[in-house]
Structure formats: C-alpha cells, structure tokens
Amino acid sequence: MTVKEIIHKLAAKYSPKLALAWDNPGLQVGDMGRPVQKVYVALEATEAVIQECIAWGADLLVTHHPLLMSGIKQVNSEDFLGRKVLLLAENKIAHYAMHTNYDVTEMSALAIRALSLEETQVLEPTGTLEDGAVYGIGFVGVLPEAMTAETCCNYVKKAFELPAVRLFGDPKKTVRKIAVCPGSGKGMSAPALAAGADILVTGDIGHHDGLDAVDQGLLMMDAGHYGIEHIFIGQMGDYLRGEFPELTVRKAEIAHPFAVL
C-alpha cells in the first residue's frame, strides 16, 4: 500500500475540488510512492503530533487542518513551519490533509448526528453536486425539544465531550433552532440570522462578534475551534481501518489545546 493509493481513495470520497478557494488540502509533505504500514490520525500537525508520529514509526500522518496554508519561501530549522516540514521529511513521514472538502462532505453530517437534529439544511452553501444536492459550510437544524440556552450549552458539552463552553446572551432564553459551524465561524451570524436560528454554535468568537450577534437577537455559543472538529479524528481513524484493514491506524488522544482555569 502506497501513499498514492491511500490518497486516491480519500480524494474519491472527500474530493479536494469541493474545498473553498482559499484552502490548501492535499499532500503537504511526502513521496507519493512511499510504502505505508502505519497511519496516524490527528486534527492538525502540531510539533507534538509529529514527534508522536516519529516515536511510533508512522509512515503517513492524516489531519484535518493543512500544515501549509500560505506561501513558504524557505524550509529551514529557524522557522517553526520549516522545522515541522524537516521533521516529517527527515523521518520519511508523508502528511495529507482534508480541510474544507471534509467539512462539506462529512463534518456537518457527523455533528448533526451527535446533536440528533432534525429538519437540517446547509448554513452557507458553497456549491451544487451533479445530482443537484447543495453542499456548504455549517448547518441549521431543530433540536429534539425546546430548551433554555443554559441547557443547550450542557447538551452541546455532552454531545462533544467538552469541558466548557462560552455563551453570549441570556442563559434563560428558550432556543429550538440551532445553527452550527464547526471550527471558526465567528463571521457566520448573518446566515444564522437569515435562517431563523435562535443560537449559533461555533468557535473563535470574538468579544464584538458575540455582542453584535446578541444585539440582533442571536445567541452565540463558543464551543472552541477544536471543540467540535475533533470528531474528525474518530471518524477518519475508523474509516481508514475499515477501508485499509492491512494498515495499522492510530488515533490521536482527544486533547483540548487550552484549559479553563
């Protein structure tokens, strides 16, 4: 089994053509022809993750977030990105990422199931498939029952195994229609309002983003960028094990990048 063969299978299911224009999914580092026996799955290629890959003897690192999102003019040990590229290359570890192409084909469906939502629709459409189906970023749906925003926070925490969330707005307000944008969706309040959502759940919400949304009648829950997207690790690890039983697949432990003290 080679890097190319694995990527071919992944690209068929999560086509890079569906990624947004600014994105950079695909093979970040590595040799297409390299044989693969061990695959490590993580949300992103942090130095800690790469060191874990080295210690375990991984041949391929599969992540949601690409290592390289903008131009890099030099690859050397003086730059943190360069160091990571060197670590991967020197240890013959290929790195493949599926980002917004995964978001529009799998991430929303996973989150919808985790929250048991009904009457779902795409929050921000980005394209149409050949069969006419609309795909895009995030989704809007109806909760199993009306609940207070505080109860909704606890519901989301349980669904995604989160230690904490932040809420902008009145905890006592009743919510039923929920918009969710896994990852960074602080700018998604306009489509959430247009869809009639009571609350938007996402990550990376800034001070003014939250206040402005509340003034327009929309509650905002910050579940963290990692908070929802970590579901990629479990699904992708299981998918690779099912499609490639000859491979040894290891999933990164769920480890939130910051602590609330």
* pLDDT tens readout for residues 7-45: 999 999 999 999 999 999 999 999 999 999 999 999 999
CA distances to 49, 156, 174, 201, 235 from 141, rounded to whole Å, are: 34, 14, 15, 12, 21
Query: What one-character DSSP code corresponds to residue 172?
Result: T
pLDDT for res 130: 85
Rounded to the nearest 5°, which phi and psi values hold at 157? -60, -45
227-244 CB burial, b ≥16 within 10 A, e <16: bbbbbbbebbbebbeeeb
Q: Please state, rounded to an integer, the average pLDDT across all residues of the chain.
A: 97
Residue 261 has pLDDT above 90, yes or no: no
Residue 155 has pLDDT above 90, yes or no: yes
Report the alpha-carbon distance of residue 50 to residue 70 in Å, rounded: 20
* pLDDT mean over 104-122: 97
The number of helix segments (H) and strand segments (E) in the chain equals 10, 11
Residue 260 has pLDDT above 90, yes or no: no
As given in the structure block, the two tokens for residue 127 are: 């394209």
Contact, 250 vs 55, CB < 8 A? no
* pLDDT mean over 192-200: 98
- The third-level CATH classification (topology) of the domain covering 3-98 is 3.40.1390
Provide the β-strand partners of residue 206. Answer: none
Provide the β-strand partners of residue 148. Answer: 174
Q: What three-state secondary structure class fits 56? A: helix
Q: How many CB atoms lie within 10 A of CB 190?
A: 12
Residue 166 has pLDDT above 90, yes or no: yes
* pLDDT mean over 157-165: 97
Residue 70 has pLDDT above 90, yes or no: no
pLDDT for res 73: 86
Domain with CATH 3.40.1390.30 in the chain: 3-98, 102-227
Taking the model in full, what pTM does it have?
0.96
Report the alpha-carbon distance of residue 228 to residue 137 in Å, rounded: 14
Write down the architecture of domain 102-227 according to CATH: 3-Layer(aba) Sandwich (3.40)
